[in-house]
Structure 1
Amino acid sequence: DSILRPIALQLFVCLCSILSYAVFSSAAHVSSITPPHEMETTTMRPHLPPARREDWWSEEATETLIQAWGHRYLKLNFGNLRQIDWNEVAAAVNSSHGVDRTKTETQCKNRIDTLKKKYKTEKAKLSPSAWRFFDRFDVLLGPVLKKPVKSASMNLYLSLTGTKSRGGSLDVDDDEAGDMGLVLAKKHPRVEEEDLSEGSACKELARAILNFGQVYERTEGRKRKVVIELEKKRMEVVKELE
C-alpha cells in the first residue's frame, strides 16, 4: 500500500492536468468561431442618405429657375427663349444651387415644361389651387392661355346680324375696335318714332354685346399690363438683391 499510494497520487495529478488542458482548448476554439454579431462589442455602419436622381429639383432651385426663366420670358413679350437665354437660366440656377449637382439647359427646359403642365392641371380645377407656384405661373401664362373676348364678341355680332367679312372672319385692330361703337352708331341711328322690327332689335342687341366686349377687353388689357409691370419690377429687385 505504501508503494501504490504515491503512484496513484501522481496518476491523479496527471489526469487533472489533462482534463484542465482539454477544457481550456475547447473554450478557446469556441470563442474563435463565434460570429461577429454575437460578440459583445459590435461595430455600427454609418447611416447613408438615399441617393437622389439626376433630375431632382429642390423647392429653392425651382424658385430660382422660375425667376430666371420668367424674367426673360417677359422681356421677350411671352416669346420662346433662345438657346443663349436657356444658358443664362441654367447659369443662374447653378450659381445658387449648383454645389452638389449642376443643371443643364435641357434639364431646365424639361423642368419648366413639367411646371407648365402642372399649372394647366391646377388651372382646370374648380377649387382654388394650393400649389406653391400657381400665382407665379398665373401671371406669366394666364394672359397667353386666356381666350380673347374680342373675337367672341365679334363672332356673336356676325351671327346675329348675318354679315360676313371678305375672308369669312373679321380682323379688327385695337384702335379700330375702340372706335367701332361710334362707327356703328353713325351707320345705324336710333329710331325713336318708328317701331323696331325683329331684325333691328337683333342688331341693337348685337351692338350692345359688342360694346360690352370691347369695354371688358380694354379693362382686362389694362389689368394685365399692370400685373406684368409689377412682376417685372419685382424680378428686377430680386435680381439686384442677388
Structure 2
Amino acid sequence: MPDFNDSIAPPSRPVPVREDCWSEEASSTLVDAWGRRYLELNRGNLRQKDWQDVADAVNALHGHTKKTHRTDVQCKNRIDTIKKKYKIEKARVSSSNGTLSSSWPFYERLDALIGPNFNAKKPPSSSPSPSPPVALPLLPHRKNPSSSPAIAVTPTAVALPQKRSAAAAAMDEGYFRRNYSAVAAAAAAAEADEDEEEEEEEEADDVEEEEDEDEGRGSEVEEGEKEREGMRRLAKAIERFGEVYERVEGQKLRQMVDLEKQRMQFAKDLEVQRMQMFMDTQVQLERIKRGKRSGSNGTTHYLLEERRITSSYS
C-alpha cells in the first residue's frame, strides 16, 4: 500500500503573492487611504477618480522617485492582491476554530473593512458511515484559493496503524479512493465556480471602467460647454461695458464743448460791455470839455459889451 504521508504534508513554499515592489509602509498607507474611501462610499466599489485619489495619497508620502510612483491601476491591483491574502488568512484562522491567529500586519484592518462581507464556506460534510483514520492528500495549488477556504486548509496528517490485515488494508484503500474521487470532484466544481466568479468580477470591472470613461468623456464635454458659455457671457459683458463707457465718454465730451462755448460767450459779452463803458466815458468827457469852452466865451463877450457901453456914456 503506498505511503500517503508524503502526499499530505503541507507545502514548504509560501503562497505566491505578487508584491509589485511595494514596501510595507507604502502598502500600509495604501490600505489606510483605500479604507477611508471605501467607508465613505458605504463599502461600495471605488471608481477611477477614487483610485486616483488613493494613488495621490500614496505618492504624497512614498512616490518621491519614478520607481516608487504609483498609478491608480497599480493601487487597484495591489488592493486586489491584499484582499486575496486576507481571504487566505481568514480561511486559515476560521478553520482553526479560534486556536490560531494571524500575524499578518494588515489582517486586523482588512478584517474590520471587509470582514463582514466575507463568509467562510463550511467544509463538506462527511459520510455518516464510519471512516478509518486516513488523512486526505492536499489538492494542487490553484491560482486563486481565496474563494474556497474549506479546500485550502492544511489538515494534520494522521498516522496509520502499523499492523493491519490484508482485508482491512484493501477496505481502507478502496474507501480512500472513493473519498478522494468525491473530494476531487467537489474541488473541480468549486474551482469552476471560482473561475466563473472571477470572470464575472472582471466583466463587472470592465463595465465599471467603461462607465467611468464614458462619464469622464461626458464630464469633459460638459466642462467644455460650460467654459464656452462662460466665455460668451464674458464677451457680452465686455461689449456692454464698452458701449456704456462710450456713451459716458461722449456725454463728457459734449459737456466740455458746451462749457467751452459758454465760457467764450461770457468773455465776449464782458469785452463788449467794457468797450461800451469806455466809449460812454469818452463821450461824457468830451461833453464836459465842450461845455467849459462855451461858458468862457460868453463871459468874455459880456465884459467887452459892458466896457463899450460905459465908454460911450462918458
TM-score, normalization: structure 2? 0.29
Q: Which has the larger radius of gyration?
A: 2
Using structure 1 for the length normalisation, give the TM-score.
0.38
